[in-house]
Amino acid sequence: MPKRITDLSLRVKDVKSENNNVKISLKGESFDADAVLHTAKNDYAKIKGIVNYGKKKYVDISVEAKDVKLENFVKLTGETVKILNIKNPFEDIKITGVADADFKVKSDFKTMTSTGKAKITKGVISHKSFPYSVNDINEKISLFFGCVFCRRMI
C-alpha cells in the first residue's frame, strides 16, 4: 500500500520548504516515488519513478524542475539524509546556482537511455578539501540516446 505525505513543511537552518507532497510505495527490493518538492516559495522539483536496488538494479525516473536554488536543495537533502541516519554526501561540498530541468533516464547500470534537457545558471561547485572551485557554470545539458551533451551558455 502506498504511503502518501501531503502538504509537508520543513525548515532546515535558514531554508524553509512548504507544500511538499510525497508518495512512496515499497515493493521488495524496489520503491516507487512520486514527489513534488519546493526549496523556496516559487520553485519546485517533480520527481517520479522507480528504483530497484536488489540483484537486478535499475532506475526509471523523470525529473521536472523550475528555478530550483541548488544551495537550498543541497541543504535540505543533506539534513534529510542525516535524519534518516545516512551520512550526508554533501557535507564537504558547496553548490550554488539555479537549475531548470525536464528529463527522463532509464538504466540497468549497464546501459542507459535518456531524453530531455536541463539548464544550470550562475553555478559554483567547491569542496572544502581543495583550494579551487568551478565557477561561473552556465550550461545547457541535453540527454539523448544515453548520452549527455553540455553546451556553455554565453
3-state secondary structure of 82: helix
Nearest Cα to Cα of residue 21 among 33, 31, 10, 36? 36
Q: In the chain, what are the domain boundaries? A: 3-152
**What is the C-alpha to C-alpha distance for residues 137 and 58, in angstroms, rounded to an integer?**
30
Q: Which stretches of the chain score pLDDT less than 70?
A: 1-6, 8, 12, 80-81, 83-86, 89, 154
Longest dimension (CA), the chain: 49
Identify the three-state secondary structure at position 104. Answer: strand
pLDDT digits (tens, 9 = 90+) for 106-125: 999 898 899 999 999 999 99
Residue type, 151: R
Q: pTM for this structure?
A: 0.75
The amino acid at residue 144 is: F
pLDDT of residue 49: 92
Measuring CA to CA, which residue among 98, 115, 100, 126 is closest to residue 149?
115
- Look at residue 100 in the predicted model and tell me its pLDDT: 95
